Amino acid sequence: MSINIGFIGLGIMGKPMCRNLLKAGYSLAVYDRSSVPVKELVADGASEAASGKEVAGRSEVVITMLPDGPDVEQAVLGPDGVLAGARPGTVLIDMSSINPLVAQKIGAACSERGIDFLDAPVSGGEPKAIEGTLAIMVGGNQGVFEKATPILQKLGSSVTLTGPVGAGNVTKLANQIIVACNIAAMGEAFVLATAAGLDPEVVFNAIKGGLAGSTVLNAKAPMVIARNFKPGFKIRLHQKDLRNALLAGGEMKIPLPLTGIVQDMITSLVNDGKGEQDHSAIVMALEATAGLQIVKPAAARA
């Protein structure tokens, strides 16, 4: 590939995304505050950069994949950030999940420097990042989107322009509300089934083909039943997303009552030291209230 890509943020999502870009044949410069994933990707064929500024200076397209808005602001607007090294015409794609207003702020700063900007958060967690089948929700200019689409298609199976800058993150917040509420509803349903003496796996198999079936149910119910909470997407990151959703709702004067209820559950789990577990562990808040675990009937009661 003739396009040089820079990638900043090599965490649970960023690292497999980089590997898919390398597999696609792109030249890739990478930067992260942790040297461990940098060295792993260099071994895979990437080149190391010392800062976001250096990444931008060596790239025509820069992708950021960071935990939250302040991290993106520092990586892009900071003294050694992307804008310090980017040339006019560079395309910056922020694939982090952040507050839409922060995305718009960064987009405006990029525009002043002649840098094209897209906000393009993703859904699918680590498994989809590894597979290259993420759902990518994009906000920005149509022409810039078309220019970036071939790259994004190496990372996701669904790439959709949802509106202007900021729209990608509004769409992602809508996604995260649905996912969190689905997990909570699943937990409540399986707590009821377990309390009634039913096998939650049998209940799952009975309902997954009906109207209650969903991608969330199919992905998360087996994890809960197996008590496997290895993170594909951490509870503390979902807490951040719902916080951004509630902030956005407040700014728009839109009530989000279900989001607030699930956010309270998530906050209690974070305060209980469970923030690093997979977000399927949202069910633990409901289990604690009921005094039982979603397990086989013989061991249901805690």
- Secondary structure letter of residue 31 according to DSSP: E
- Write the CA distances from 244 to 154, 170, 270, integer angstroms: 28, 9, 16
**Pairing of β 91-94 and β 61-64:** parallel
Provide the 10 A C-beta neighbour count for residue 35: 11
Q: Of the candidates 267, 301, 271, which has an alpha carbon nearest to the alpha carbon of residue 287? A: 301
Residue 91 token pair: 């395309």
172 catalytic? Reply is: yes
CB atoms within 10 A of CB 91: 23
Taking CB atoms within 8 Å and a gap of at least 24, the contacts of 110-115 are 110/76, 110/83, 113/83, 113/86, 113/88, 114/88, 114/89, 115/82, 115/83, 115/86, 115/88, 115/89, 115/90, 115/91
Bridge-based pairing state of the strands 27-31 and 47-48 = parallel
Burial of 36 (0-12, 13-18, 19+ CB in 10 A): exposed
Q: Which two tokens stand for residue 217?
A: 């149910």
List the structure tokens of 286. Answer: 């409901």
Of the residues 15, 154, 172, 234, which is catalytic?
172
Whose structure tokens read 């109207």? 211
Element (H or E) spanning 118, and its range?
strand 116-119
Q: Point out the residues that are catalytic.
A: 172
